[in-house]
Amino acid sequence: MEILGIVAFIVAMLFSVMVHEFGHYITARRYGMRVSEFFLGFGKRLWSFTKGETEFGIKAIPAGGYCKIEGMAPGDEMPVGEEDRAFYKASSGKKLIVLGAGSFLHFVLGYLLLFVLFAGVGTTQVLPVIGEVVPNSAAQAAGIQVGDEVVSINGVKVSVWIEDVEKIRNSEGKELTLGLIRDGQEITVTATARLTDVEGTKRYLLGIVNTVGVQRTGVIESTTKAFTLTKSFITESVKSLISLPSKIPALWGQTVRGEERDANGLVGVVGVARVSGEAVGSSALTGSERLATFLLIVASLNIFVGIFNLLPILPLDGGHMAVAIADEIRAFYARLRGRARPAAIDVTVLTPVTLVVFVILACLTLLLLVADVINPVTFNL
């Protein structure tokens, strides 16, 4: 099962790459740019076919993919008669849309996975079903039984137990009317919560212990929950990227000196794949919980990759977007001075900077790979 989880993760990531590159492809074609290649993987060409002017296919190294848009820089050669279809000749707005489409679809994919999680698979929640009645409690005195499902409190329908239970805790000793489902029949009971000391805190309790299980939510609620969690993942991804440089020294110590890996520290793709495998193969989780954990991992990783690609550094999409924005700023100042629009910035001039960034990212990737292999993070799934 663990191997199955790792394979599923690899397939999910390759699919995410295809979605990312499709974003570039479809928007570039929409704006009349020439797209000559769309490949999954790098290295030697294994299989391909040509449709229109674009060659689609698979290459030997499944470590990503690419969509080749012609004319990224002024020095790139274009087929005769198609010079105006070069990427660098497009307006800055069109460039930004094409460049940002990949990350945008990462966010869309992450959101859809979370929606499927809430609406189709379900999440582990405290359910309004009584699993235990505390002896000599208000619940026992009211005749509440194990297996009863609380469907309303004071006439208000129960929807999310962890929120609705606050009506009991805030009842201040007033009588509560509970609607229950027992053996398929709806009944009504009255009970008065008693003020009880819980680890030094006084709370009004009935004396019931609810069951925990996987529960799906409705379409509308799932839409909202998926949006909220997507926003949370975006926020956490930004925080992680901001704190990334400060975590590299600790990663070095965990890799070279064998110090214990921090579960909240940096984890590479290999580490995430292993965690995915552990989640799918865990005997401590139910089938639904395994699938839910897998969807959470893939969704959060898609959102993180989407944010990472927007960093304003070359060779990332965000770096090219920064160049497009700089082009527009230069054009704006030229208009203010009554001058012609300056030529587009040639990104090849920035090649030395791109190479430096590439080397840094490659070194970090290698460090994470070694750490994930020789000193993996343990999550106790």
8 Å CB contact between 190 and 176: yes
> How far apart, in Å, do the first and last CA atoms of the chain sit?
14
130 three-class SS: strand
Q: DSSP assignment, residue 341?
A: P
Q: DSSP assignment, residue 294?
A: H
Cis peptide, bond prior to residue 315, ω within 30 of zero: yes
Q: ∠ at Cα 109 (325, 6), nearest 5°? A: 120
- Decide if 21 is catalytic: yes
8 Å CB contact between 320 and 96: no
Which residues, listed in sequence order, are joined to residue 153 by a DSSP beta bridge? 156, 178
- Say how far apart CA 298 and CA 166 lie, in whole Å: 33
Q: What letter represents residue 214's amino acid? A: V
- Say how far apart CA 313 and CA 357 lie, in whole Å: 8
Closest C-alpha to 94, from 30, 163, 16? 30
Distances (CA, A) of 72 to 88, 269, 346: 5, 29, 9
Tokens describing residue 287: 């089938």
- Residue 266, CB half-sphere, CA atoms under 13 Å: how many? 24
The dihedral built from the CA positions of residue 345, 351, 352 and 356, taken in this order, carries a sign that is: positive
- Say how far apart CA 224 and CA 61 lie, in whole Å: 39
- Say how far apart CA 368 and CA 377 lie, in whole Å: 11
Residue 351: in which H helix or E strand, if any? Answer: helix 351-374
Q: Which residue is catalytic, options 2, 21, 77, 166? A: 21
- Say how far apart CA 158 and CA 175 lie, in whole Å: 17
Q: What share of the chain is helix, strand, coil (3-state, %, to 5)?
A: 50, 20, 25
Structure-token match 């002896």, residue found: 135
Instruction: Give the residue numbers marked as catalytic.
Output: 21
